[in-house]
Amino acid sequence: MLSETVWNSNLKELKIDYLYHLGLDNTEDLKGTFKDTRFVCMFGSALRAEMFAKKAGKQLGFTVEGPIGKTERFSLYKIGPVISVSHGMGMPSLLILLHEITKLLQYAEAIDVAYIRIGTCGGVGIEPGTVVITTEAVNEKLEAVFEHMELGKVRRYITKLDNKLAESILKSAGDIKAVLGKTMGTDDFYEGQGRLDGALQPRYKAEEKMEYLKKAAEIGVLNIEMEATAFATFCSRADITGAIVDAALLDRLKVDQIYVGKEELAGFSEKAQQVVLNYIKSKING
Ligand code: URA
């Protein structure tokens, strides 16, 4: 998985490495269960991780193992060479999952694993239901940078993603409407994304919100969610091939509230999942 230059040398000091939030540790037979992993598909919600696991099992013809480990924080399933796992909402939760799943795969001696986050987002100037495959992750300042607080100091990391993988996934979309574009990752759903419908009176006006969203659109941002920059930075630092595939639930140039029905919402999310499943099928069968 990881080269010696990025694998954390401090871990050598540990007798047992407890992957606390997954409820697993490196004394278990991780190699037996996970060595053949080639794709890790990640979802915000545990329910989506479970549904995807079942769908992948049916479409790829593998049995679904899991949930493996504990389920208080994350839910993890194994379907042949695919892991389906939830990461919770936002970058802090996602980063915990990324560290632990990567350690798990390193202990399992898995090789050439691609990480794919499959989620939902707010579109910027695109129709609800459109699937956006990220070319570049930008922060709230519209920079291709992830700012992380470490030892009380802000560190800035680049947010490079593998565009070859993004293009291959796009080719697997078939008749599902999918596009390539930049994704903004934010630390909040409401004021962090310039919404006017949070609980508190925002300190900005409707015109300022529109000006901000239009500026984002001008530099090529097609969607906004809450994980992109941390995901891209982690993959880039670890030298893991990564992609983000999100279904837009609304057009933020038109509305703030998500009012699509439960079924339509599930349908949007399924489109993003199906695009990725088509891609995985083509890699497994090809
Ligand atoms: N997820 C987000 O982060 N924002 C949206 O607008 C929709 C889904």
Tens-digit pLDDT profile for residues 169-206: 999 999 999 999 999 999 999 999 999 999 999 999 99
Residue 71 banded pLDDT, cuts 50, 70, 90: very high
Contact 137, 232 (CB under 8 A): yes
Same domain, 126 and 266: yes
Angstrom CA distances, 93 to 35, 75, 100, stand at: 25, 13, 11
Tens-digit pLDDT profile for residues 102-118: 999 999 999 999 999 99
Q: What is the pLDDT of residue 97?
A: 99
Residue with CA at minimum distance from ligand 1 atom 6: 122
Residue with CA at minimum distance from ligand 1 atom 3: 225
Residue with CA at minimum distance from ligand 1 atom 1: 121
Last residue of a domain, one of 52, 78, 112: 112
Read off the pLDDT of each residue in 207-222 and give the average, rounded to a whole number.
Answer: 98
Beta bridge pairs of residue 41? 84, 116
Q: What is the pLDDT of residue 260?
A: 85
List of long-range contacts for 169-175, beta carbons under 8 Å, 24+ apart: 169/116, 169/133, 169/243, 169/245, 169/275, 169/276, 169/279, 170/133, 172/275, 172/276, 172/278, 172/279, 172/281, 172/282, 173/131, 173/275, 173/278, 174/275, 174/278
Same domain, 174 and 244: yes
Same domain, 197 and 124: yes
Contact 135, 164 (CB under 8 A): no
Instruction: State the Cα angle at 245 between 44 and 93, rounded to 5°.
Output: 25
Same domain, 6 and 48: yes
Same domain, 263 and 150: yes
User: What domain range includes position 80?
Assistant: 1-112
Same domain, 100 and 141: no
Residues with CB under 6 A from ligand 1: 120-122, 189, 193, 224-226, 249
Same domain, 100 and 167: no
Same domain, 98 and 150: no
The pTM is what?
0.98
